């Protein structure tokens, strides 16, 4: 019975010598369970973070941030005030363009409401020798990240809605796109480009697409009165 014991002792001695000669094996074996445990803990923490709903205070802070006027609103400041308008029209927006524009004069008052969130413009003038009134509400939607506008006037019963990206600081202009009903009830695509010339002048140029071709329909030059 001494031979099996001798073999067992020999194997045990060989294993001990190997462990002493290659300590990295033992070190790696000890570290592996700790690394796995750490990874599982990190994964659990990340999962908990993504599934935990925001607190009421956090939701209120996010809502207040979205509701506050920002730099995009401030970029519209040059449009506020009282203005004299010169309107050039190349035909009725619902009809075909004409070679020479008709020219009309008018006025416009644009003022901030609701803490600087919306710029309301009230327009008065003449159109085809008839009194004309229009009103626009212009603002910047922080959620959609775009300018939004609604327009009504005494020449119709609908509301024209348009929207567009932020102001281009290089050209000091922004573009709104929307649609307006045509003479047969079809929607006609419209594009408006507002450009700030200086502190006392800005322009708005309107284009419409009839028959798939865009045409310049109107150009308004605003000159500050105060």
pLDDT confidence of 219, banded at 50, 70, 90?
A: very high
Structurally, the chain folds into a number of domains equal to: 2
Write 24-28 long-range contacts (CB < 8 A, 24+).
none
Q: Are residues 204 and 147 in the same domain?
A: yes
Long-range CB contacts (within 8 A, 24+) of 144-153: 147/72, 147/174, 147/176, 149/176, 149/178, 153/123
CA distances from residue 135 to 21, 86, 199 in whole angstroms, order as listed: 89, 17, 22
For the chain, how big is the Rg over CA atoms in Å? Answer: 35
Do 216 and 173 share a structural domain?
Answer: yes
Q: Are 206 and 217 in contact (CB under 8 A)?
A: yes
Question: What is the pLDDT averaged over residues 52-60?
Answer: 86
Measured in degrees and rounded to the nearest 5, phi and psi for residue 125 equal: 180, -150
User: What CA–CA distance (Å, rounded) separates 195 from 197?
Assistant: 6
Residues in contact with 110: Cβ distance below 8 Å, sequence separation at least 6, in sequence order: 79, 80, 81, 83, 119, 120, 121, 122
SS3 label, residue 203: strand
Domain annotation covers residue 32: yes
Domain co-membership, 103 together with 194? yes
Dist. CA 178–CA 194, nearest whole Å:
14
- Looking at residue 57, its pLDDT comes to 83
Mean pLDDT check: name the lowest of 39-48, 82-91, 156-165, 202-211: 39-48
Q: Which pLDDT value is given to residue 43?
A: 66
* 31/96 same-domain check: no
Per-residue pLDDT band at 98 (split at 50, 70, 90): low
Residue 141: what pLDDT?
97
The Cα–Cα gap between 12 and 18 comes to: 10
Q: Give 169-185 pLDDT, tens digit per residue.
A: 999 999 999 998 776 77
How far apart are alpha carbons 13 and 7 in whole angstroms? Answer: 10
Lowest-confidence pick of 93-97, 129-133, 185-189, 197-201: 93-97
Q: Which residues pair with 174 in a beta bridge?
A: 194
Position 150 in a domain: yes
202 located within any domain: yes
pLDDT, tens digit (0-9, with 9 covering 90-100), for 101-157: 899 999 999 999 999 999 999 999 998 889 999 999 999 999 999 999 999 999 989
pLDDT of residue 56: 87
Residue 209 confidence (pLDDT): 87
CATH number of the domain where residue 131 is located: 2.40.128.20
Full residue range of the structural domain in which residue 10 is found: 2-52
Is it the case that residue 37 has pLDDT exceeding 70? no
Residue 214 lies in a domain: yes
Is 27 found in the same domain as 94?
Answer: no
d(CA 116, CA 113): 6
Residue pair 208/90 in contact by the 8 Å Cβ criterion: no
75 shares its domain with 29: no
- Distances, alpha carbon 206 to alpha carbons 37, 87, 88, 182, 194, in Å: 65, 11, 10, 15, 9
pLDDT at 1 over 70: no
């Amino acid at each position: 019975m001494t031979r099996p014991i001798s073999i067992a002792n020999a194997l045990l001695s060989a294993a001990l010598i190997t462990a002493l000669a290659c300590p990295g094996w033992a070190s790696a074996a000890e570290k592996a369970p700790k690394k796995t445990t750490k990874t599982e803990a990190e994964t659990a923490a990340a999962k908990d973070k993504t599934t935990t709903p925001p607190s009421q205070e956090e939701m209120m802070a996010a809502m207040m941030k979205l509701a506050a006027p920002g730099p995009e609103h401030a970029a519209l400041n040059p449009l506020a005030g009282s203005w004299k308008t010169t309107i050039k029209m190349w035909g009725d927006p619902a009809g075909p363009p004409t070679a020479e524009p008709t020219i009309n004069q008018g006025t416009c008052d644009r003022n901030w409401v609701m803490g600087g969130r919306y710029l309301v413009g009230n327009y008065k003038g003449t159109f085809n020798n008839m009194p004309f009134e229009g009103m626009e509400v212009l603002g910047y939607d922080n959620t959609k990240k775009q300018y939004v506008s609604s327009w009504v006037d005494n020449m119709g019963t609908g509301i024209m809605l348009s929207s567009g990206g932020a102001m281009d600081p290089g050209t000091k202009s922004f573009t709104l796109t929307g649609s307006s009903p045509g003479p047969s009830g079809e929607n006609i695509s419209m594009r408006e480009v507002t450009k700030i010339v200086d502190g006392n002048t800005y322009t708005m140029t309107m284009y419409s697409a009839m028959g798939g071709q865009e045409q310049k329909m109107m150009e308004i030059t605003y000159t500050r009165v105060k």
